[in-house]
Amino acid sequence: MKTFGCQMNENDSERIVTLLRRQGMTPALSEDVADVVVFNTCTIRENADNRFFGQVNKLRERRAVDSQMRIVVAGCLAQGEQEAIFDRAPHVDIVVGTHALGSIVELLDRSAGEQHVIDVSNTSEALDPLADLSAEPTDGHKAWVTIQTGCDNNCAFCIVPQVRGGEVSRPFQAVVDEVRNLASQGVSEVTLLGQNVNSYGRDLTRRLRAEQTGPTDRGYLTGQVYVSGSIARIRPLFADLLRAVGAVDGIRRVRFTSPHPKDMREETFRAMAESPAVCESLHFPLQSGSDRILAAMHRGYRGARFFEKLLEAREIVPDLAVTTDIIVGFPGETDDDFEATLELVARCEFDSAFTFIYSPRPGTEAGGWRDRFIAPEVIAERFERLKHVTERSAFAKHRERVGRIEEILIDGPSKRDASVASGRTRQNKLVHLAGVDGERERGSYVQARIVDASAHFLHGEVLRVRA
């Protein structure tokens, strides 16, 4: 199982693995000995496409001599460019889109008699599009929980609405039940996933108001808090869901990603502050600090409004860590636009930033603005300047934590040094702990004093281990 892209894809991969395990399959040590190789693809940026084709084409020779082997391509690239996949990698057997993952076993059976098998059907209109795709936890103590598929926004740079479809929220109680089931299996941290996670439930309340629910219990669909109030108002249910998930016995940490600033409401910040399990961590994608570029992107907010909401979040949620996304070189970005981004990023003092060079995607509005594309050397210079600003604020935020005692959930040994354990604070800060057996303590909560800081991680010393 090879996964490219976002946390949503990671969760989809877990669901695929669960389906294949139920058929009696077991994970192979490498693609060299696997009977089935699954690529779960991303198409957000061109680099992800190129990485996928580079890896899948390495299997061309083996597939040519092994008639029993099957190569499956799933995910966003599969949904949007299935014919291109067979053109560039004709040895691929199966292409399955984002809405048809539940058919993967059937497609494997069909591939025994067909050369190229495709299923990119859209089944997202089901009451619970993930009802038959529950994933078994693979990490033991942490799990992704998809609460919503698709996106209704119209960002000029983004291909997600085309490959994931419109927003479809899972029933409120179905999400809570899944979290409760995960907790019973030892999971103590869940991350709620959605393309626009904080608009979760708006479509459910619209459906309830239109009385399109049939025999389905209203509380199951939208939660008891909503049903017990006025059901006439169409509104998101995300704050309600945060509180309900945070109240599940055994769940100690709740995270979520990724929200849209235009839909962020005070009630979400209040739920974060008032629910002890919800972590003091917020991913808040800015994308640009220029009002002109934000308008061209169709983001639905101005820089000043973004900053106001950021201040509101920090005022309501104590000790909040905020990360962001920023695109460099969006078509038409001038020097003045970029300077506005640098200025706003400096004012925001983010804890961390994911910075991306604009990647044109076929089928998006901005992908057709080739006459406005920015020269690569200009983008490279801007990217380095932005990196300096973001790392400066990240380092300052981390230095402030030196000397503090933090609760850290250990994820396992450090990838670079097995004698060092790595884990995360409630603010999602990566902490390295020397002298701790990361494998043995995986899933444990420890109290540690932060002793050193860099822009990207912290060092700590363990004071005591808690269950």
* 383 lies in the same domain as 241: no
Q: Is the pLDDT of residue 212 over 60?
A: no
pLDDT at 414: 92
Q: Is the pLDDT of residue 308 over 90?
A: yes
pLDDT at 124: 47
Per DSSP, which regions of 298-351 are E strands?
321-328
Mean pLDDT across the chain, nearest whole number?
92
Region 299-307: mean pLDDT is 97
* 394 lies in the same domain as 411: no
Q: Which of 86, 119, 152 is the last residue of a domain?
A: 119
| CA 405 distance to own-chain centroid | 29
- Return the closest-CA partner of residue 360 out of 329, 324, 325, 326: 329
Q: Which of 72, 88, 119 is the last residue of a domain?
A: 119
* 268 lies in the same domain as 290: no
* 169 lies in the same domain as 237: yes
The pairs formed by 401-405 with CB atoms below 8 angstroms and a separation of 24 or more are 401/429, 401/450, 401/453, 401/458, 402/450, 402/451, 402/452, 402/453, 402/458, 403/449, 403/450, 404/449, 404/450, 405/447, 405/448, 405/449, 405/450, 405/463
The band of 231, judged by pLDDT with boundaries at 50, 70 and 90, is low
Region 213-223: mean pLDDT is 76
* 268 lies in the same domain as 285: no
Tokens 């090879």 correspond to what residue? Answer: 2
Rounded-to-integer distance, Cα 297 and Cα 332, Å = 11
β-partners of residue 96 are 74, 119
CATH number at residue 433: 2.40.50.140
* 129 lies in the same domain as 222: yes
Q: How many domains does the chain have?
A: 4
Q: Which of 87-101, 226-240, 362-376 has the lowest mean pLDDT?
A: 226-240
Q: What percent of the chain has pLDDT over 70?
A: 94
Residue 117 phi, psi (nearest 5)? -115, 130
Rounded-to-integer distance, Cα 300 and Cα 285, Å = 12
* 146 lies in the same domain as 261: yes
CATH number at residue 355: 3.30.750.200
Rounded-to-integer distance, Cα 434 and Cα 218, Å = 51
Q: Is the pLDDT of residue 138 over 80?
A: no
Q: Which of 103, 119, 135 is the last residue of a domain?
A: 119
Q: How does pLDDT run across 77-132, given as a tens digit for each residue?
A: 998 888 889 999 999 999 998 888 888 999 999 998 888 999 887 654 455 656 65
DSSP characters over 79-107 = HH-HHHHHHH-TT--EEE-TT-GGGHHHH
* 317 lies in the same domain as 442: no
* 182 lies in the same domain as 212: yes
* 340 lies in the same domain as 430: no
Region 374-401: mean pLDDT is 97
* 148 lies in the same domain as 265: yes
DSSP state of 274: H
Which domain does 371 fall in, by range?
A: 281-400
Contact 363, 164 (CB under 8 A): no
CATH number at residue 23: 3.40.50.12160
Query: What's the half-sphere exposure (Cβ side, CA atoms, 13 Å) at 380?
Result: 3
pLDDT at 298: 97
* 17 lies in the same domain as 67: yes
Token pair for 175: 């999400």
Contact 138, 442 (CB under 8 A): no
Region 226-254: mean pLDDT is 92
pLDDT at 133: 62
Region 291-318: mean pLDDT is 98
Rounded-to-integer distance, Cα 348 and Cα 310, Å = 8
